[in-house]
Amino acid sequence: MKGLPYFCRGEVIRGFGRGSKELGIPTANFPDSVVDHLPADVSTGIYYGWACVDNGDIHKMVMSIGWNPYYKNTKKSMETHVIHTFKEDFYGQILSVVMVGYIRPERSYDSLEALISAINNDIEEAKARLEVPEHMKLKEDNFFTASGSTSKSTGSTIMNGH
Ligand code: ADP
Ligand code: RBF
Ligand code: MG
């Protein structure tokens, strides 16, 4: 997929407040400044990659980019579900991500159950696909260790405040 890997970071803001957390799938939302910087060749859809909160550990992630057709959002969003159980919320903290692969386009579903089950499939897909050495390597990228540095890998790096 063109434009990958794509590195970005930004503050975690409040999202649509739809209670994705209650569904067991919280998503950390990026502000418009990060969404608006996405290059044109990074299309909407579901991606997988690595993520870390502030200077914390690096975890696998899945990300949804687009208008959530199931909810018919009017605003484009970038929402990251970090595949890890956190003790506390991390609103206001800096989320760093690298998107390494594409899973599927966003689509609408007949029921909430169907949407949840699709997301759970994405999570399993991400866990498996990230195991290959080529993707494991990106975990070690100095984008994650040296906060504020520019990645030596291909793809853009956006600094938002940090
Ligand atoms: P919102 O609509 O405000 O984005 P969500 O229900 O999607 O609300 O919950 C997202 C928030 O949950 C994140 O901003 C973060 O603070 C917290 N959170 C806790 N665990 C996770 C996780 N594993 N992945 C993403 N966000 C998480
Ligand atoms: N929303 C959709 O409308 N259609 C989708 O296909 C879709 N896929 C998603 C896949 C993943 C991995 C994640 C994390 C979210 C996805 N969403 C999708 C967004 C979802 O609707 C949103 O996170 C919750 O509705 C927020 O409560
Ligand atoms: Mg959210």
Backbone angles phi, psi at 53, to 5 degrees: -100, 125
The CATH number for 63's domain is: 2.40.30.30
Under DSSP, is residue 14 helix (H, G, I), strand (E, B) or coil? coil
pLDDT value at residue 21: 76
Question: End-to-end distance of the chain based on CA atoms, in angstroms?
Answer: 28
Contacts of 19 (CB under 8 A, 6+ apart): none
Query: For all residues of the chain together, what is the average pLDDT?
Result: 89
**135-140 long-range contacts, CB within 8 A, separation 24+:** 135/100, 135/101, 138/5, 138/49, 138/50, 138/98, 138/100, 139/50, 139/58
Taking only the tens place, the pLDDT of each residue in 49-102 is 999 999 999 999 999 999 998 888 888 999 999 999 999 999 999 999 999 999
d(CA 70, CA 82): 21
pLDDT value at residue 84: 98
Indicate which residue's Cα is closest to atom 21 of ligand 1.
26
Taking only the tens place, the pLDDT of each residue in 112-160 is 999 999 999 999 999 999 999 999 999 999 999 875 544 434 344 444 3
What's the domain count of the chain? 1
Six-digit token string for 128: 């498996």
Residue 57 belongs to some domain of the structure: yes
pLDDT value at residue 32: 96
d(CA 130, CA 158): 23
Domain with 148, as residue range(s), is: 6-159
Taking only the tens place, the pLDDT of each residue in 17-35 is 776 777 789 999 999 999 9
* Ligand 2 atom closest to residue 105's alpha carbon, by position in its atom list: 6
Residue 46 belongs to some domain of the structure: yes
Contact 60, 80 (CB under 8 A): no
Ligand 2 pocket: which of 13, 79, 109 to mutate (most atoms within 8 A of CB):
79
d(CA 97, CA 82): 10
Indicate which residue's Cα is closest to atom 20 of ligand 2.
68
pLDDT value at residue 115: 93
pLDDT value at residue 19: 66
Residue 1 belongs to some domain of the structure: no
